[in-house]
Amino acid sequence: MNVLKSIIENKIIAVIRSTVSENLISFIDIVVESGINSIEVTLTTPNALSIIKQLRNNYENSILLGAGTVTDLDGAKRAIDAGAEFIVMPIYNIEVINYLKNNRFPIISGAFSPTEIYNSYHAGADMIKIFPANLLGIKNFKSLQIIAPKIPLMLTGGITTDNSREWLDSGADVLGIGSSLINDQIISSKDYDKLKLNSKKILESIK
Q: What is the set of active-site residues?
A: 40, 129
Determine the Cα–Cα distance for residues 117 and 151; give it in Å rounded to an integer: 9
What are the backbone angles phi and psi of residue 140, rounded to the nearest 5°? -70, -35
Per-residue H/E/C for the chain: CCHHHHHHHHCEEEEECCCCCCCHHHHHHHHHHCCCCEEEEECCCCCHHHHHHHHHHHHCCCCEEEEECCCCHHHHHHHHHHCCCEEECCCCCHHHHHHHHHCCCCEEEEECCHHHHHHHHHHCCCEEEECCHHHHCHHHHHHHHHHCCCCCEEEECCCCCCCHHHHHHCCCCEEEECCCCCCHHHHHCCCHHHHHHHHHHHHHHCC
- What length does the chain have? 207
Closest by CA to 64, choosing from 18, 12, 121, 24, is 12
Determine the Cα–Cα distance for residues 70 and 44; give it in Å rounded to an integer: 9
